[in-house]
């Protein structure tokens, strides 16, 4: 079995192309966009918020189970809650393995991990199929991520320290702006973590409505 | 190694005797952000560009230069996620050495073991080579040392070296500027000037990273404030 200069295989498994690219990883990025959904995350002074479109029934991705198990075993071993950046790094390292071993393909998932760190405060991390992970002040993933990032860059240019309401409303209005449509409270899902209540919580439709009203009154 | 069905190497010889996967890995390194290292008479400095994809990225969360042991640091050019794997493996090897011999691992030995890992991935079944080249800076009983390790697993000791996008300009610049009796401070200035040579945009303490090790044998990454001081001196 000879594998000369890729011979087309560089498109099927994660080996290098002549230009030094990994096509399978690039295709995985495309798969993320193919879902047709966009998600937005924003980090404020004492809270983090993530917003996503609710187009398909609630899907538990391949990461949820693994993450949950990993967090429990971390707590058991080390005696304290797994910090956000450690979890993000673990996800990213797992993703990297899939880009280097031929028998596993990269996952077509971008994971946004958020939480309140005891020492560093609110944190928002994004992990991608290539195994990169960065902390973000705000970010987006999915179909319209570039437009959303452009919108957010303008808003966060002078390093504002958003309050909880501003954080949530920035995230929601970013999504509204890139989708160019107003949506109803039951068409999006909003999750938050706040310093005063450092538990991840999904907002109810009523709470989302309040924010949507506040945004439209503001404009 | 030998991952299940892939018990054959993906890196095989071409008719002309080349291992093309390694060549492609080197291309990946060559399109990575520029990094460099300079060995001074009394220490070593390594530095890299830290260009982030967006201003929304929290640059404090990104650390490209890492320490492997208290007296050895490393920087990479190429694929970030791959470098994390190597950093983790190297740290483990250093720790195992320490557990056995109760002393810090010599720089050459750690470099050799890291290089061996990289070579493994060019020959084992079902895996691709690492898409990074590393610059390892350390200070032990043999004095200050700087090594470069490539995706093939070959390693060389350097007085000064560069990798990544701007490698040829950087190396030419270093060849002109390097002197054997350079002090660590001079080396840091030269490192900054070398990075500046091919830098797109304005260089600042937020888009470069510098790591140093001196006669105290403690590797550390400079804080943004320290980098700003050096930048001001270089102006």
Task: Return d(Cα B144, Cα B45) in angstroms, integer.
Answer: 10
| Whether the Cβ atoms of residue B209 and residue B59 lie closer than 8 Å to each other | no
The arithmetic mean of pLDDT across residues A152-179, rounded, is: 92
For the stretch A11-44, pLDDT in tens is 778 889 999 999 889 988 888 888 888 899 999 9
Q: Which two tokens stand for residue B199?
A: 């830098």
The arithmetic mean of pLDDT across residues A183-201, rounded, is: 89
Q: What is the dihedral of CA B105, B109, B111, B112, to 10 degrees?
A: -150
Q: How many CB pairs under 8 A join A and B?
A: 123
pLDDT-derived band at A109 (thresholds 50, 70, 90) equals confident
Residue of B117, B116, B121, B92 whose CA lies nearest to B105: B92
The alpha-carbon gap from A21 to the nearest alpha carbon of chain B, in Å, equals 7
Which pLDDT belongs to residue A168? 95
Task: Return d(Cα A47, Cα B44) in angstroms, integer.
Answer: 41
- Domains of chain A, earliest start first: 9-218 (3.60.20.10)
For the stretch B15-47, pLDDT in tens is 888 899 999 999 999 999 999 999 999 999 999
Model confidence at A56: pLDDT above 60? no
Chain A residues with CB inside 8 Å of B8's CB?
Answer: 1
Q: Which of residues 130-189 of A touch B (CB under 8 A)?
A: 130-132, 134-139, 149, 152-153, 156-157
Query: Is residue B48 classed as helix, strand or coil in its secondary structure?
Result: strand
Chain B residues with CB inside 8 Å of A22's CB?
Answer: 128, 131
Chain B residue at shortest CA distance from A1: B8
Task: Return d(Cα B221, Cα B211) in angstroms, integer.
Answer: 4
pTM: 0.85
Cα–Cα separations (whole angstroms), residue B81 to B32, B34, B88: 12, 16, 11
Q: In this structure, are strands A188-194 and A138-142 parallel, antiparallel, or unpaired?
A: unpaired
Model confidence at A1: pLDDT above 50? no
The alpha-carbon gap from A137 to the nearest alpha carbon of chain B, in Å, equals 5
Query: Is residue B156 classed as helix, strand or coil in its secondary structure?
Result: strand
Decide if the complex's ipTM is over 0.85: no
Contact B81 A17 (CB under 8 A): no
């Amino acid at each position: 079995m000879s594998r000369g200069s890729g011979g087309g295989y560089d498109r099927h498994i994660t080996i290098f192309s002549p230009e030094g690219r990994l096509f399978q990883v690039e295709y995985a990025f495309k798969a993320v966009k193919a879902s047709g959904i966009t998600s937005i995350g924003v980090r404020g002074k004492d809270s983090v918020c993530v917003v996503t479109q609710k187009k398909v029934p609630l899907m538990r991705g391949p990461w949820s189970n693994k993450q949950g198990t990993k967090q429990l075993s971390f707590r058991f071993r080390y005696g304290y809650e797994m910090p956000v950046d450690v979890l993000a790094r673990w996800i990213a390292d797992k993703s990297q393995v899939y880009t280097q071993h031929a028998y596993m393909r990269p996952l077509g998932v971008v994971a946004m991990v958020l939480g309140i760190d005891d020492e560093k405060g609110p944190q928002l991390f994004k992990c991608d199929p290539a195994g990169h992970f960065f902390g973000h002040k705000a970010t987006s993933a999915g179909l319209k991520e570039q437009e959303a990032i452009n919108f957010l860059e303008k808003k966060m240019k002078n390093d504002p320290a958003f309050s909880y309401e501003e954080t949530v409303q920035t995230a929601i209005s970013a999504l509204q702006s890139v989708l160019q449509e107003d949506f109803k409270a039951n068409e999006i899902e909003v999750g938050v973590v706040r310093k005063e209540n450092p538990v991840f919580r999904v907002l109810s439709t009523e709470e989302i409505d309040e924010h949507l009203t506040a945004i439209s009154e503001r404009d | 190694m030998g991952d299940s069905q892939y018990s054959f190497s993906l890196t095989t010889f071409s008719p002309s005797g080349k291992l093309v996967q390694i060549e492609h890995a080197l291309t990946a390194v060559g399109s990575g952000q520029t990094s460099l290292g300079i060995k001074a008479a009394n220490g070593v400095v390594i530095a890299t560009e830290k260009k982030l994809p967006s201003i929304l990225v929290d640059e404090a969360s990104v650390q490209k230069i890492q320490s492997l042991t208290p007296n050895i640091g490393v920087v990479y050019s190429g694929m970030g996620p791959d470098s994390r794997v190597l950093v983790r493996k190297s740290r483990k090897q250093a720790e195992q050495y320490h557990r056995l011999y109760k002393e810090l691992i010599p720089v050459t030995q750690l470099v050799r073991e890291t290089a061996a890992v990289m070579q493994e991935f060019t020959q084992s079944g079902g895996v691709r080579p690492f898409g990074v080249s590393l610059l390892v800076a350390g200070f032990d009983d043999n004095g200050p040392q700087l090594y470069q390790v490539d995706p093939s697993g070959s390693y060389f000791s350097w007085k000064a070296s560069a990798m990544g996008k701007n490698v040829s300009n950087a190396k030419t610049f270093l060849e002109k500027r390097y002197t054997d009796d350079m002090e660590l401070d001079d080396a840091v200035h030269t490192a900054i000037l070398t990075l500046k040579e091919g830098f797109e945009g304005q260089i600042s303490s937020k888009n470069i990273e510098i790591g140093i090790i001196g006669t105290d044998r403690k590797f550390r990454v400079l804080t943004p404030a320290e980098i700003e001081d050096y930048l001001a001196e270089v102006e």
